[in-house]
Every structure is written in structure tokens, then in C-alpha cells.
Amino acid sequence: MSDDQKKQLEQQLWNIANTLRGKMNADEFRDYILGFIFYKYLSEKMNIYANNILKPDGILFADIKENTENGKEYIEAIKEEAVEKLGYFLKPSELFSQVAKRGNSDVEGISNFILEDLQKILTNIQLTTMGTESEEDFDNLFEDMDLNSTKLGKSPEARNEIIAKVLSHLDKIDFKLENTEIDVLGDAYEYLIGQFASGAGKKAGEFYTPQEVSTVLAKLVTTGKTKLKSVYDPTCGSGSLLLRVAKEVESVTNFYGQELNRTTYNLARMNMILHDIHYRKFDIKQEDTLEHPQHIDERFEAIVANPPFSADWSANPLFTSDDRFSQYGRLAPKSKADYAFVQHMIHHLAENGTMAIVLPHGVLYRGNAELSIRQYLIEDRNYLDAVISLPANLFYGTAIPTCILIFKKCRENPDTILFIDASDDYDKAVKQNILRDKDIEKIISTYQNRTEIKKYSRNISLKEISENQFNLNFPRYIDKFKRNANIDLSYISSFLSQINNQSIEIEKQIDIFCDELNIPTPIGNNMELLSLFREGVMQKIFNKSIGFKKHNGDKFQNWKKTCLGDIFNYHSTNSFSREKLNYENGDVKNIHYGDIHTKFHSHFDIDKENVPFVNPIINLDKISEEKYCKVGDIIIADASEDYADIGKCIEIINIDNQKVIAGLHTILARPDKTQVELGFLGFLMKSDKVKYQIMRFAQGTKVLGISSKRISEIEVELPSNEEQKKIVSFLTAIDNKINFNNSHIEAIEEYRKSLII
């Protein structure tokens, strides 16, 4: 299956999930859609297995008549083998495809009410496992799917309709389970879990570790290994981290995990089965890991964890005699369980094993009990192998900076601890930062080779760490301080003089315009007040309480009422994500909506903006000439999380013959140049009247959006082209005054620094 086909499947599943979205919040409809996908998986797995058994008899499992004597014999024989091999059993009438057909049947005399049958089937799956080895793995697996919930619909008929619709959509998708070489459904399931996590805020941390962080942890604990006897996650969430470890080696014999949250525990078990991990190969338990450990006698070759940061725990004094904590002499603080998780994991680590845990930066330097534990791990046991500082804002629901601690009981490099500061290596996404492939590769390569890179990594001796009182804070070991370069005083002085002369000319222009408009001239260089002055001038110009005159003193003609649809022609834009952009090389640049929101000036001059390239490997042959940006084009951000920024736009005033395209979540509007002068729309689109209409037209709950159709309906008034030129010249002069003041302040600051050096 190609990447495109894989993405198509992911999008199909997400679209089906959205069928339920309007009925309930994200974490609730997550449980339904993932549960239905899991039921379909079990059905298809059952059908394939049974058909293979029945192949010599030349019949299909779905065609067996369940109420005949012959049919009953077949079913009993298949059930016995299926429970042993698969861990569960489904009758032909209980298969997903059969239920989906009944739910959407329009045959007269046949009821399409399936709610009761479906509830019985989900219960029967569990009942077939009772008294068998797989009983614990299927126990109450579907308990979060309440088919009688009024959130699905007020009446049984309404609930039946929505569920039948979801089943029908899912039934049309081929999960390709017969192709054992690829894990299509498993990857798609992981994609859905990630999508739910991205919209769940702080709750996401309860069940999901961002994929890039999971990849780093998995690669760290599998360094130098092709097979693992066991992998363990004491806070396993949805099980994604355990499964990620399996992707880095040829085989994992057994998977172990523990999870506190019951719903997430169910999700983890489903995830294991759905990734074709046999029920005998995984042991996931539901309990509080620190208070009630479920694998106390086990030792594991690889351990990974992303525990809740600085969580509360009991710190019960009885734990001082617990083998996990007794040797340290201190328990982790009651309000910060971070080191309690470390101690728990070390207890379970095999002598030849590696463990990696994500924790907040505070674990590196906090004192008292945590210092004692840290010192014991380094000085007495020498278990700490490496410390990796990650960028801030990687995790859903929290922006705090984090680090990875890597521990080994038998270290290959016992005299040093490797410090890697990867905190500056990331890319910005809409809601959080992300690690790129090259960032991950750099971390792993540096760890595996223990490479020393200036301002990035160092092997620190145990002696140096001891001299720092076992404080592991990164600035003590990796110098990232940016010293000022030598500054040319003559150049700065000359530049200040140049700015001053230009400012005088701008002041003269502004004075002439203010005199014509009969308004006071802004005196002084207070940036905040100058910005307010510009805002006030725009208000008065666009509500026509002040206005320019012709050279002969006559008034300009009345402003013409129109709408933006009569001014703009629209051209399609691309949907390249940040992952497909870079700042190093390429032939075509891309305007991303996030940059419109955060950094681009409203009058866009490409020589003054930092615009990313589209990655050179991406084929842009299908982009026609008209889709490349031109001078005068308006690029509108059509998505935002708040009303203040929805519809924010830029007007391209200089493109310097470069190739530029408008990107993700943008509208490319090309104006009729006979109606508007260059620069005018950049100001008009920021006027109160236009912004008010955009806010009224915007739609959405968590993310607001606006369409080109709605943009076209916005009513505006246009002055004559000659008056537009005067308005642009005046407002541009004010902007220039503000910009020159900024440059003046920056130059003076550089001059001051040069005197201090």
C-alpha cells in the first residue's frame, strides 16, 4: 500500500469519526469509533480464519446455516479452534458485515433495528473467552460503548440510525487483513488515536505520547539490539509506545504494561490485538502502578515511559520497606512522583536492559529527597547513561520543557554521562512544536556514537557532576550562551545618521498630509502612541469623517459601494504542511497561514520577510502559472482559533521575481487592478467595517473558518484611484515612521552593546 493509499484510509476513518462528532465531545466519540473499528477487525479476522478451515469443504463461513444440525456442528468445531488460536469467537450472523447489512436494510418485512443485537454480540465476544487463557484480555473490553446513551440520539430509533450509518461507512472499507506483510489498519488506528489526542488538550496526556517522542524513546532502548525478550511501559496509556518499540526491532517476545485509567486500559488492549499481537504475548494490567504494581517479580529488557509529570502519590512510609524504594533511603515527594516512577522502573530493569523515561526538567536540579535519589543513582549505582533535553511544547496539554533520562545497569561507558541539548531543534506546528526526522536522527546518532558537538552534546565525567553537587541542569555542562559579535561603531553611527535623515523626510510628508486633512501632526517617537494614531487615522478615513482633496482643492467623488466579490478573482492554493517546508533550499517559496498570523507584515515585501521553501523533492509541475502569487494579490488566512485573527491577510507589494505559492488554509484573491491601487487593499482589509463582517461570517467551534464565498459577500466602499493613492501614501508614511523608530532603537542598542564589550 502506497503512502497516498494509507493517507486515504486514514482520512476515510476520520471522516467516519466525524459522523459522531456533533453528538458528543472528542473523548466520548473516540471510544465509539475505535470500538466499532475494533469490532470490524475481530469480525474480519474471524471470517478469514474460519474460511481457511472450511476451504477443504468448499463452503464459506458466512454461508453456514446456524440453526441446522450440520451448521451447529461446523460452528462448534470452528469455535473450539478459534478460541484457542484467536482468543475469541463470532458466529456468522454476528459478523460485522452481516450486522451492517441488517442495519441498513430496506427490504420490506425485515427490521433494520440492530441495537439490541449489536449489544448482545459485543457481550458474546467476551462470553466466548470465559474460562480460557484470553479471558482477562477480553474482559469488559467494550464497556465504554454504551449503545443506549442519549448522546447518540434521544430515541432508540435515532440511536439506531446513527450507529447503522457508521457501520455502513466502515463496512465499505477494506482493511486488507489478508496481507500480513503490512500493518495498514494498525497504523491507521494509531493515526486516529493521535487525531483524538490533538483535540483533547490536557486529557491527551492520559493516553498518548506524540509519535516523534515515542520514536526517540523506542530507538534509544533498542540501540544495538535486533530482538527483545520483553518490553514494559508502567504508564502505558493506549499502548502506542510499546508498539513503537516493536517497530524498531525484528521481534518482541512479550509486551507488558500497566494503566490506571479504565477506559485507556481498554484502548491499550484493543490496540495490541488490532496490531496482531497475540493475546498470549501481551500482559496489560489495570491498576495504579506505584501503589499496586502488577508485575512485581518481572524483569524487562526494555522499559519506556511517559508518566504524568510531577503527579501526586501517597509516599506512604510503608514503601520504605518496598524493594523498589528501600535502597535509596528516601521516597520521592508526595507532590512529585517523578523519581518514584524512575525507582519503580529501575527495579524492573534487567541487567542487560535499557530504560528511557520522559520527565519535566525539574528532575535535573530539584533538591532534598530528589537530590538524594539522583545522587544515589549516579554515585552509588552509576546507572544514569544519558540525559537529553527536548524542546518545550512537544506534548499535548502542556508547554513545559522536558527531558529524557536513559538508565542502564551495565553501562558500556561507565566513566561519563552523555548530555544532549536538543531543545533548539524543532519545527513549529499550529498548536505545538514537533521534532523533524533530522532532529530525531541527530539525537539517536549522537547517543549511539556518544559524539561531542559544540553547543549540543558533551560527555561529562562523574567527577564534574559530583563537583556540581549532582545538579544536572544543562547550562552547567553545555554552553549555549550567545556572545555578541564585535560591532563596528563607525557603521552604527553612520546608520543612525541615515535613519535620522530619512525620518526627517517622512516627518515632512506626514505634516503635509495632516495639514490637508486638518488633523494634528503626531510629535515624538512613542511607539505605542504612534500605533494608536495610525489606528485612529484609519478609522476616520474609512468612516469618511476626514478626507483628501484634489490638487485644485475640490472634493473627490463619492466612494463607490461594492463587494469584494466584484473586485476579486480566486485561485486555488496548496495544502502543504510544515513538514513539507524548509528554510534552507528550494526553488519555490510557500506562504503558510500560520506565518500570516504570527510574523508577516500586512504589506508583504519578500525581501524583508523570512519565507520557507517547499521541499525540493515535491513535484510542483501541476501548479499552473495563475496559481503563483503576483504583486497586488491578497492572501487571506481562512482558519484561526480566535475571532481576532480570522481572515487576517497580507497584500503582496514586492515579490522580486521569485516563485511563491499560497499554502495551507489560505485564500488567494487576485484584485481587478483597474479598481484598486497597489497597497490600498492591505489597509482596507484591516478596517473595522471589513473585520466586523469577517467575524460575522466566520464559523466553527474549536477552529473558526471563512470561505471565499463569504469573503465575496463582504461590502466595501472604494474611493477614486487618485484618492486611494493619497490614502496609501499617508498610511505608508506613518508605517515608515514607526519602522524607522524601531530601526533607530535597535541601532542605539547595538551601539550601547559595543561600548560594553
The DSSP 8-state label assigned to residue 140 in this structure reads T
Q: What is the DSSP string of 352-397?
A: EEEEEEEEEGGGGT--THHHHHHHIIIIIS--EEEEEEPPSS-STT
* Positions of CATH 3.40.50.150 in the chain: 212-474
Q: Which residue has the higher pLDDT, 22 or 682?
A: 682
CATH number of 212-474: 3.40.50.150
Domain 560-718: give its CATH superfamily: DNA methylase specificity domains (3.90.220.20)
Q: Is 60 exceeded by the pLDDT of residue 373?
A: yes
pLDDT of residue 708: 94
pLDDT of residue 700: 75
* Positions of CATH 3.90.220.20 in the chain: 560-718
Q: Is 90 exceeded by the pLDDT of residue 523?
A: no
What share of the chain in percent tops pLDDT 90? Answer: 62
Label residue 662 by pLDDT band (50, 70, 90): very high
Q: CA separation (Å) from 263 to 28, 143, 238, 257?
A: 10, 8, 9, 15
* Positions of CATH 1.20.1260.30 in the chain: 1-199
The DSSP 8-state label assigned to residue 555 in this structure reads B
pLDDT in tens, 588-613: 999 999 999 999 999 999 999 999 99
Q: How buried is 39 (Cβ within 10 angstroms: 0-12 exposed, 13-18 middle, 19+ buried)?
A: buried
Label residue 127 by pLDDT band (50, 70, 90): very high
Q: What is the DSSP string of 652-714?
A: EEE-TT-EEEE-TTEEEEEE-TTT--TTHHHHHTTSHHHHHHHHHH-B-SSSEE--HHHHHT-
pTM: 0.66
Q: Residue 8 is which amino acid?
A: Q
CATH class of 1-199: mainly alpha
